[in-house]
Amino acid sequence: MMSRMTGMGWIALFAFVALGAPWHLAAAGEAPRQAAVATAHPAATAAGREVLQAGGNAFDAAVAVTAALAVAEPYSSGLGGGGFYLLHQADSGRDVMLDARERAPGQASRDMYLDDEGEPQPQLSVDGALAAGIPGIPAALDHLADRYGRLALGETLQPAITLAREGFEVTPMYRRLVGFRQEVLADDPGSREIFLHAGALPDLGQLIRQPDLAATLERLALEGRDGFYQGELAGRLVDGVRKAGGIWCRSDLAGYRVVERDPVVSRFRGFEVVSAAPPSSGGVALAEILNTYATLARRAGGLDDLSVLGLHYRIEAMRRAYRDRAEYLGDPDYVDVPVERLTSPDYAAGLAVGISPSDATPSASLAPVITAPEGPHTTHFSIMDADGNYVAATLSINYPFGAGVTVPGTGVLLNDEMDDFSQKPGVPNVYGLIGAEANAIAPGKRPLSSMSPTFVRNDELVGVLGTPGGSRIITMVLGGVLTATRGESVADWVAEPRIHHQYLPDRVEVEPGTLSEDQRVELELMGHRIETNDGFGNMQALAWWRDGNRLEAAADPRGEGEAVVFDLRQAP
Ligand code: DON
């Protein structure tokens, strides 16, 4: 054995002995012995728990939860959408990101949302079938089951199938979001029939049944990915999309693949922070912000995260990372994304040099770039099984109820994720994000995302977290990481008041109660423009405190989610 060890092998062995084993190997054999599920809907949490108790692992539970959310949170995610799954396998210690992001159809083109004068037509990438990318979620379910799960799709999809057939109850959140999209839903016969009641808002407690979606899930259970991307159902999807003004082709569906990518890993306060790789901007921006902030904290000889200086430095680090996001980030299969450079501590040290301790940097004074639209709904869930496998997944159809179009006879609600491309360099989307060449539309390309499923861990803690929230996802996850690395409880990670800056527009967004009056005044005197917005995000997180082997989970009090920690033998 020894004689076959390569030169590299010796170096690796030396590093291992000299620097200490990576934490996951040091921890081999340890397991939380309980399981935890945190999702944005109680029915999805119940589905995850049921599958874990039936002997499934965290990846099987991720299938069950994804499908149940597709039914019960139709405004957030679904079979017609996409997302990113961050997985950790306990036995190998391996982390991997499943990229199930939507792709632009083959007939998409760079200027498809511009009129003859070259002016953007914002509605076209938001409402209706032309806004829909090729979905990734059905392929992700098959991939999870096939490569990572223990159970067959027939078993893991069952709770969602039952839920779709029997119906879920209308909640206040459902009514609020239907109200937001009522016009577009009423215009589409498929959506109108399912999501509205005689064209009006359904009452609280009314049941929303989706028999066509139940049949589509059954077909997926029986035939796997081909049941969705090929054959009769694919024909129906393409037909429905084209009749509604879209440009999908059968080859777009047949050609869709989930891509496994290495996550972006950074280090902060002795923790390893593992997050989403491009085509999400999450991991890169998070690393850039954490590195810059750590440099500034060293320069200050220590920093309280919630002091005026801590908040000022956080804002300045966010500003610069979102500037770089706008310039450099896009689908790595189409453009070269300088991940190493942007996530290196040296690069952050350079950025920190330009940050004053007393004055805000106007965004306009940074080298200009030209950003992409984000919508106000999406979902995140976090799962850990008793063996120590875990999943963070953020999934989306973009806007509430996506494009608003449900393809007849399929129950599939189309996404409007094409809106995440930058339609024209420099033109801000409705959320004020701008984008450049790296995120221009091209056939088959994946639009840039902010979705950031994340792990934060060291020898004492494994944290699993994420949230919806469009452009603010990254800064909310940042808030979660800062709270986690201060050793606070998981209930605080999700509840922590939020603060956000995205380079342009040049303003700091805070929730009511984030800043004291004195802090607000001091930040304004430094030159920050501060706007208070309603609560944002819907974080779902869990923490395995390895010291004492304690599992905790929490659902964001801003949403309607549910988090549970349980023994496998315990009846639900
Ligand atoms: O991928 C993205 O970044 C967006 N489509 C996510 C949209 C979103 O989070 C809306 N949420 N509330």
Q: Per residue in 406-427, pLDDT tens?
A: 999 999 999 999 999 988 877 7
State in Å, rounded, how far the first CA of the chain is from the last one.
50
Q: What is the DSSP letter of 123?
A: G
Contact 114, 230 (CB under 8 A): no
Range name among 17-26, 61-70, 267-276, 439-448 with the lowest pLDDT average: 17-26
* Cα of 81 from ligand 1 centre, angstroms: 11
Burial class (CB in 10 A: 0-12, 13-18, 19+), 455: buried
- CA–centroid distance, 151 to ligand 1, in Å, is 30
Asked if residue 40 has pLDDT above 90, the reply is yes
Q: Which atom of ligand 1 is nearest to the CA of 451?
A: 3
Ligand 1 test: best mutation among 398, 422, 502, most atoms within 8 Å of CB?
Answer: 398
Tell me the backbone φ, ψ of residue 74, rounded to 5 degrees: -65, -15
Lowest mean pLDDT among 2-16, 219-233, 246-260: 2-16
User: To which residue do tokens 């959320």 refer?
Assistant: 431
Distance 303 CA to ligand 1 centre (A): 31
Per residue in 496-555, pLDDT tens? 999 999 998 999 999 999 999 999 999 999 999 999 998 899 999 999 999 899 999 999
- The protein residue whose alpha carbon is closest to atom 2 in ligand 1 is 449
CA angle 501, 503, 505 (to 5 degrees): 85
Structural domains in the chain plus CATH codes: 2-21+262-374+451-566 (3.60.20.40)
| Confidence (pLDDT) at 253 | 98
394 counts as catalytic? no
CB of 454 within 6 A of ligand 1: the answer is no
User: What is the Cα 172 distance to its own chain's centre?
Assistant: 23
Q: Is the CB of 450 under 6 A from ligand 1?
A: yes
Least confident of 184-188, 211-215, 423-427, 512-516: 423-427
DSSP 304-315: -TTSHHHHHHHH
Banded model confidence at residue 441, pLDDT cuts 50, 70, 90: very high
Share of the chain above pLDDT 90, in %: 87
DSSP β-bridge partners for residue 457: 272, 462
Query: Would you tell me the crossing angle of helices 473-485 and 282-299 to the nearest 10 degrees?
Result: 50
- Is 468 touching ligand 1 by the criterion CB < 6 Å? yes
Distance 426 CA to ligand 1 centre (A): 20
Q: What is the pLDDT of residues 309-343, one digit of tens each?
A: 999 999 999 999 999 999 999 999 999 999 999 99
Average pLDDT, the chain: 92
Catalytic residue among 66, 216, 295, 378: 378
Residue 568 pLDDT grade (very low, low, confident, very high; cuts 50, 70, 90): confident
Whether 479 lines ligand 1, by a CB cut-off of 6 Å, is no
In this prediction the pTM is 0.93
Q: Please state, in angstroms and as integers, the Cα–Cα distance from residue 191 to each residue in 123, 355, 376, 389, 411, following that order.
A: 18, 50, 19, 37, 9
Placement of tokens 């409880």 in the chain:
489
Nearby residues of 527 by Cβ (< 8 Å), 6 or more positions away: 359, 360, 362
- 483 close to ligand 1 (CB < 6 Angstrom): no
Is the distance from the beta carbon of residue 45 to the nearest atom of ligand 1 less than 6 Å?
A: no
Q: How confident is the model at residue 433 (pLDDT cuts 50, 70, 90)?
A: low
Give the closest residue to 338 by CA, choosing from 385, 281, 294: 281
Question: In sequence order, which ranges of 424-543 are alpha helices (DSSP H)?
Answer: 473-485, 490-495, 517-525
Preceding peptide of 505 cis, ω within 30°: yes
Instruction: Yes or no: say if 151 and 51 are a contact pair by the CB < 8 Å rule.
Output: yes
Does the pLDDT at position 14 exceed 60? no
Q: Which residue minimizes the CA distance to atom 12 of ligand 1?
A: 377
Q: Is 451 in the pocket of ligand 1 (CB under 6 A)?
A: yes
CB atoms inside a 10 Å sphere around CB 507:
15
Q: Which residues pair with 95 in a beta bridge?
A: 88
**CA 119 to each of CA 114, 307, 423: distance values in angstroms, whole numbers, following the listed order:** 5, 44, 10
